[in-house]
Amino acid sequence: MVHILNSEMIYSDRFEHENGECRMPASKLDKYLNILEALVERPQKIDKIASKAHVETRELKNYMRFLVSNGIVEERRMAGSRTAYALNDRGFAVFKTLRAFKYFEKLKESIPVVDEAREIASMLTKNSRVLRKE
């Protein structure tokens, strides 16, 4: 879990058991969102991004190439041959859009549960009235 921006990170390419939980595989969208989320606070080196986003470094390099080539993330040269990656304005806008998309996706999944709860509450209310009459 991530402490910022009320979003949840997805952890693995395969089903993973963590604390007795079985997680669904991360979609490409989830991986990109996790990568961008790792860069929200400040620029990061590739190994730190991999750790925060729970993506293998080798796989992450491909994702970073895509993000850089599409102007979403910037490469920043550091001392020596080190490279850090940072979100630019466009990247932050993409991050906010993806995060909103994921939020609405979760909201959409919860609407049937709310409707079902309303039906159950209505049935319970009707049943309690019938029981009171008896």
What CATH number is given to the structural domain containing 76? 1.10.10.10
- Cα 112 from chain centroid? 22
73 pLDDT more than 90:
yes
Q: Which domain does 70 fall in, by range?
A: 16-106
Whether the pTM exceeds 0.85: the reply is no
H or E element: which one contains 30? helix 28-38
* Residue 131 resides in a domain: no
* Residue 119 resides in a domain: no
H or E element: which one contains 44? strand 44-45
- The pLDDT tens digits for 93-120 are 999 998 998 888 887 777 777 677 777 7
Phi and psi based region of residue 119 (left: phi greater than 0; alpha: psi -120 to 50; beta: remaining): alpha
* Residue 43 resides in a domain: yes
* Residue 8 resides in a domain: no
Look up residue 82 and give its DSSP letter: -
Greater pLDDT, 106 or 42: 42
* Residue 11 resides in a domain: no
Dihedral Cα 70, 72, 77, 81, nearest 10 deg: -60
26 close to 18: Cβ distance less than 8 angstroms: no
Q: What whole-number distance in Å separates Cα of residue 42 and Cα of residue 87?
A: 8
Residue type at position 119: E
CA angle (81, 86, 88) in 5-degree steps: 135
User: How many domains is the chain partitioned into structurally?
Assistant: 1
Least confident of 29-38, 51-60, 74-83, 117-126: 117-126
* Residue 1 resides in a domain: no
Structure confidence at residue 23 (pLDDT): 60
28 close to 39: Cβ distance less than 8 angstroms: no
Bridge partners, 85 (sequence order): 44, 75
Structure confidence at residue 131 (pLDDT): 58
* Residue 42 resides in a domain: yes
61 pLDDT more than 90:
yes
* Residue 5 resides in a domain: no
